[in-house]
Amino acid sequence: GRRTLTYAMLGVVRTAAGRLAHVGRRSISSQVEGKKFIVSQVDVPTSWYNIQADLPVPLPPPLHPAKHTPCGPEDFAPLFPMSLIAQEVSSERYIEIPEAVREVLSLWRPSPLVRASRWEKALGLPDTVKIFYKYEGVSPSGSHKTNTAVAQAYYNKEAGTQRITTETGAGQWGSALAWSGAQFGLPVEVYQVKVSYEQKPYRKAFIEACGADIYPSPSMKTQAGAKILATDPDCPGSLGIAISEAIEACVTSGGTAKYALGSVLSHVLMHQTVIGEEAIKQMALVGEYPDVVVGCTGGGSNFAGIAFPFLGEKFRQEAPKTTRFVAVEPAACPSLTKGVYAYDFGDTAQMTPLIKSHTLGASFMPPSVHSGGLRYHAMAPLISHLKQLDAIEARAVQQTAAFNAGDSFFKSEGILPAPEATHAIEGALVEARKAAAAGGGTVLFNMCGHGHFDMFAWQKYAAGEIEDFEYPEALVAAAMKDIPGLNGVDWPMPDAR
């Protein structure tokens, strides 16, 4: 029914005569003009996977910003409903997905897993190299962000929240939460990073079409925004600033509003694991398992979504082979590859608890790259922790190289990627060429969203105007001076299990 229509409209699976190549809940592996499509009608997962149950060393706790001691549930209560706080600290391996959430997710889930055969051919790869991608652009907002937005809207509605405040960079998260809020009759207030607000006007239109309010950040609506504009009227904004504004709007609401975050926190990353859970089953249906899993990283949610279920199998020694995990970030904002692993604030105004992660400093203002969703000063604590444990790898890429890879993918596979997703595509390209040199291998990456709202960036690319930014070493050094973790704030690393 509805799911079949989604795939039909995308043109994902068709016969040579143009007819749909699947019916109902059958799994598909069909050959069409040399391209192997795989859209497996596995069930929508019934539980989220919580990697904290399988970590060889537990995650360092968040710290109270004033006391510098581990936060308790009451410290998060002004921002989140207790149900989400419980998920944040849970060590249960699986947490059941409410039926009301699964019903909404079933509009587009399971998302397609596709063999990128045409791109493989265009790259001149040998038959021993296979590239698969999980396509999350089928969601109503066009990205993976809707997976957690639906869950957060549901739990807030259940808790009696009257309004949700949030930030957004490129607009994918703001769009996802605006749409999800509408599913449960919950008003949403969005603060979008100003440079993206101006570059992507149709994200604003989408958010308003969902009935939500949206403001460019920094704004005059909050004290945090007004203070920044007073010193820098032309400030392009950052995710750190937008988070500060959204949190201030929440905590000054008199208890009627709650805050929702689109990445970074553990419960957010957990909601995305439906991606990897589906991918494991879909690849098993065709006898495949990845040698390497690739995803782009800004805050870490889409990388976690594709990687964590596979990492869990590795930690539990259930994986059929040794798999590598590669996070790809922008060279202009390289928290994983050049940040310090230390306790720091999650926002510019220093309103959040302290989280231990790879950070460039909460006051760091990233260059105005087109991948607005990756312009965040710090990485998710779970992703950073895994990097410290040498469970994942990280590399940084300039945006010209990322767009070049995305352009190549688009011309072969027919999906115009979001600028953020081009980083994962470039990472997959590099890994595929490594595999070719090594005699073969299977690459899986998360194609986290389409770029239909990012035409300003693609216009720039077509005109040859995409810029590469040198790593802003002096700005990062200045921002790092204020990192609490570099000024004596720390907590002992938990013992290995």
Could you report the per-residue pLDDT of 8-31, keeping only the tens digit for each?
Answer: 333 333 333 332 233 333 345 444
- How far is the C-alpha of 57 from the C-alpha of 133, rounded, in Å? 30
How much is the pLDDT for 497? 74
- Share in percent of the chain as helix, strand, coil (round to 5): 40, 20, 40
**Residue recorded with tokens 């032309």:** 234
Could you report the per-residue pLDDT of 398-411, keeping only the tens digit for each?
Answer: 999 999 999 999 99
Sign for the CA dihedral angle at 268, 303, 466, 123 comes to negative
Residues lower than pLDDT 70 in the chain: 1-41, 367-375
Task: Quote the radius of gyration of the chain (alpha carbons, Å).
Answer: 21
- Could you tell me the end-to-end alpha-carbon distance of the chain, in angstroms, rounded to an integer? 47
Could you tell me the CA-to-CA distances from 170 to 245, 376, 451 in Å, in that order? 16, 11, 10
Q: What angle do CA 280, 283, 285 make, to 5 degrees?
A: 110
User: H-type helices in 200-273, by residue range?
Assistant: 201-209, 223-231, 239-251, 266-271
How much is the pLDDT for 473? 83
The DSSP call for residue 449 is B
Q: What angle do CA 106, 33, 415 make, to 5 degrees?
A: 45
How much is the pLDDT for 371? 54
- How far is the C-alpha of 143 from the C-alpha of 273, rounded, in Å? 14
- How far is the C-alpha of 93 from the C-alpha of 315, rounded, in Å? 12
Do the beta carbons of residue 212 and residue 187 sit within 8 Å? yes
Reported pTM:
0.91
Count CB atoms within 10 A of the CB of residue 76.
Answer: 20
- How far is the C-alpha of 350 from the C-alpha of 335, rounded, in Å? 18
